[in-house]
Structure 1
Amino acid sequence: MTPLGARIAARIAAEGPISVADYMAECLLHPEFGYYATRDPLGAAGDFITAPEISQMFGEMLGLALGQAWADQGAPARIVLAELGPGRGTLMADMLRSLRAVPGFLDAAKVHLVEASPRLAARQREALQGHDVVWHDAVSDLPRDAPLFLVANEFFDALPIRQFMRAEGTDWRERRVGLRDGRLALGLAGPAPQPALAHRLDDTAPGEVVELCPALPAIAAEIGARIERNGGAALILDYGGWGSRGDTLQAVAAHGFADPLAAPGEADLTAHVDFEAIARAAPCAHARLTPQGVFLERLGITARARLLVRGLTGAALESHVAAHRRLAHPDEMGTLFKCLALYPSRAAPPPGVDP
């Protein structure tokens, strides 16, 4: 058992089983042994690769989409350009490079990053040298007095989730992490009503699992309220769907799937994002959920790929072609990953999404 696993087991032995959300929070954010506190998880030497690390085209497309949304809203003179969970800073760096092509945007924008990992914040400082950047611990710390143009790529999937199994009638049984023969194991709490799941009684049957993300509503409400009040737009890209159904908790280590309970603190833990919950909580307009591949193609990723291919040969050419396919093809990230856009009810949606 890992050092963090031993601490979690001792807590359970003393206090009883804990929720999946509490388990995820300990595994990811424990200040000494948590996954994000102890490593840079990205890249070939890490545990997984996100879209910005696959190709510069991803960030370029998102940057231009926000740039067009800014222009469509009258090109306000001062805006907040924000990213949640910015990884190594690659996505923001690529966005800023592409936004040079949008006259006036960079003069209006101040960059704000919301990051919980000191290690990743250090990498972001390296990637964004020369740019004026402010770091924050939470979305609520972002400035409140200017239009908010925000991107969140693979941010919501890392927020801790609670899991509930439908029982008979209107009751639910929460899945909890306990101990069995000295090892961490999942079990079920007793049946009880869950008011937050009242809207799921009509579309679930006994035995089905539904997931709730406790932190999601407040974050989505914060983003949506600022966009509705001051203007702006948010592009939220992640894997998931409209509504939560089934057990989607997963662990990734060394670019492969692992047992979520096997090595606490040494594997990334994520769950599929319930985009409907984001839309329900955000008090602004939202576009229909759009597959990532469709979104990127509408923004012109294929045309950009053809420009970048000039002069490439051999392994560089093969890598470029594979990157384009991985980002946009339906059999790769193009269908599994989705884009939800938030925007003011008085404005048009950002380009690339289904209104």
Structure 2
Amino acid sequence: MRIPLGAHTWRFTGGVSAHAAGSAAAARWRAARTRLHCSSGPEQERPEPSVLRHLTSKIKATGPISVAEYMREVLTNPVTGYYVRNNMLGPSGDFITSPEISQIFGELLGVWIISEWMGAGRPKQLQLVELGPGKGSLASDVLRVFSQLQSVFAEASVSLHLVEVSPALSELQAQNLTGKCSQKADAEDEPVYRTGRTTAGLPVSWYRRVDDVPTGFSIFLAHEFFDALPIHKFQRTEKGWREVMVDIDPEQPGQLRFVVTPSPTLASSTLVQAHERRDHVEVCAEGGVIIQQLARRIAEDGGAALIADYGHNGTKMDTFRGFKGHQLHDVLASPGSADLTADVDFSYLRKMAGGGVACLGPVTQRTFLKNMGIDTRLQVLLRNCTDSSTRKQLISSYDVLTNPAKMGERFHFFSLLHHSRLGKPKKPEGLKLEKKPQTAPLPVAGFTELRFS
């Protein structure tokens, strides 16, 4: 039978029972959309026949592919991948992120990084590592905070490390962060494929994998990174868990469809938890591996990780969706022309992190930013601003970031910390930590209140 789900159709085979009526499923899918939608005109189709041709050839040769493989091919294929070819950020792209909305967002994350570095005893080395750095806006705002507090880092070696698979975006990041002071590696397969220096003289390096970043005390930032990693989708059936796959629609050869496997797959047998109560589950195995890598590095070398993304705590089901021109887009239509994303399951990340690190959160973006002092920072900027249009922009951006109906409660923050960080905290100079009964047992910036003194 067929059950409409948003703009496309799920086809269930082998007597699979649906977990919701079509209208309810569509409503859930619409409610799950969490990208910030900007107003735009009528959608202009930009078909990518080469991507579809590649996918259909693969499916004809090997059979239906997993949703994870579909996402991986569509987003990061070295030749046709959406992230490899496009600059998709900003009003003229397919979506916009918090660093592009307001400089305050990146500044407060910069304060969080400094607070965690101080709380760790001011190590002599600080590697700022950003996963999926977009245009470089977040890193730029963070480094601006660092430059304003140069005396704090007087005896520390600070460097920036960017994990980026997109050649197009790495070029843009290099322009924004280093101007003309960057160069590519001689060989394409080098772990560090680009190096440079910021205008302030800080070294910047680009990598394709987290494992290629040098060891040492590191603070990792992952803003809207995990939601774009490939997911496996699983459906509960009368015969047990089955994996949802992508296949060619025999009635419409030029289109793709979802199908459910008639028998278990390796993924459905290993990735779904025995105690799972939901009827439809999305699991990001690749995200779990990266979390394990971050947790191991933090446990061995010190540091922290801050993950900011759309997500949930093991409660949602169907969140896989596409975005094109700031509008929802059918995930199977014109593959390669739209962004694909799925909400992050923070309960899964917590499980994969294991006991070697402390996990804090998730807390809403509104909670995190207010605990970091966004109200105070806004008032400072408004006092120093005389231009009425700029003042309106500051207030509007603040509203977008913190309003529960906008990004305030759709976005969540989750952190990995070295266990020593939850001992008696060292009070950072110039900051006042106040204990509040929230996620963390002890004051930790952003997860409990942090105020400027």
Normalising by structure 1, we get a TM-score of: 0.94
Task: Name which of structure 1's ranges 342-351 and 262-271 shifts more when overlaid on structure 2.
Answer: 342-351
In the alignment, what sits opposite 1:45? 92
In the alignment, what sits opposite 2:160? 111
In the alignment, what sits opposite 1:290? 363
User: For 1:219 and 1:297, how far apart are their aligned partners in 2?
Assistant: 29
In the alignment, what sits opposite 2:439? none
Deviation at 1:246, TM superposition (A): 1.1
Q: What CA deviation, in whole Å up to 9, does each residue of 1:16-63 have, x standing for no partner?
A: 111111111111012222111111001111111001010111110001
Distance 1:288 1:179, change over 3 A: same
Q: 1:157 aligns with which of 207, 223, 227?
A: 227
Structure 1 contact 66–350 (Cα < 8 Å) conserved: no
In the alignment, what sits opposite 2:23? none
The amino acid that maps onto 1:28 is L
Distance 1:202 1:113, change over 3 A: closer
Structure 2 residue 395 is the aligned partner of structure 1 residue 321: yes
Deviation at 1:312, TM superposition (A): 4.2
Task: Report matched runs for 1:1-355 at 5 Å.
Answer: 2=48, 3-102=50-149, 103-105=151-153, 107-129=156-178, 130=199, 131-144=202-215, 146-168=216-238, 171-180=240-249, 181-182=252-253, 183-192=255-264, 194-204=268-278, 208-243=279-314, 245-282=316-353, 283-309=356-382, 310-348=384-422, 350-353=444-447
Task: Name which of structure 1's ranges 238-247 and 308-317 shifts more when overlaid on structure 2.
Answer: 308-317
Q: What CA deviation, in whole Å up to 9, does each residue of 1:310-351 have, x standing for no partner?
A: 324443222211111111121111111100011011213740
The amino acid that maps onto 1:295 is F
User: For 2:276 and 2:220, how far apart are their aligned partners in 1?
Assistant: 34
Q: Percentage identity across aligned positions?
A: 37
User: For 1:242 and 1:105, how far apart are their aligned partners in 2?
Assistant: 36
The amino acid that maps onto 1:105 is F
The amino acid that maps onto 1:307 is V
Structure 1 contact 157–238 (Cα < 8 Å) conserved: yes
- State the structure with more CA Rg: 2
Q: What CA deviation, in whole Å up to 9, does each residue of 1:174-202 have, x standing for no partner?
A: 11110112111111111427343453534
The amino acid that maps onto 2:405 is D
Deviation at 1:87, TM superposition (A): 0.4
Distance 1:222 1:43, change over 3 A: same
Distance 1:331 1:216, change over 3 A: same
The amino acid that maps onto 2:164 is E
The amino acid that maps onto 2:364 is P
Distance 1:71 1:37, change over 3 A: same
Structure 2 contact 371–448 (Cα < 8 Å) conserved: no
Which stretches in structure 1 are left out of the alignment for 5+ residues?
none
Which stretches in structure 2 are left out of the alignment for 5+ residues?
1-46, 179-198, 423-442
The amino acid that maps onto 1:352 is G
Normalising by structure 2, we get a TM-score of: 0.74
User: For 1:66 and 1:229, how far apart are their aligned partners in 2?
Assistant: 19
User: For 2:330 and 2:421, how far apart are their aligned partners in 1?
Assistant: 45
Secondary structure at 1:287's aligned position in 2? strand
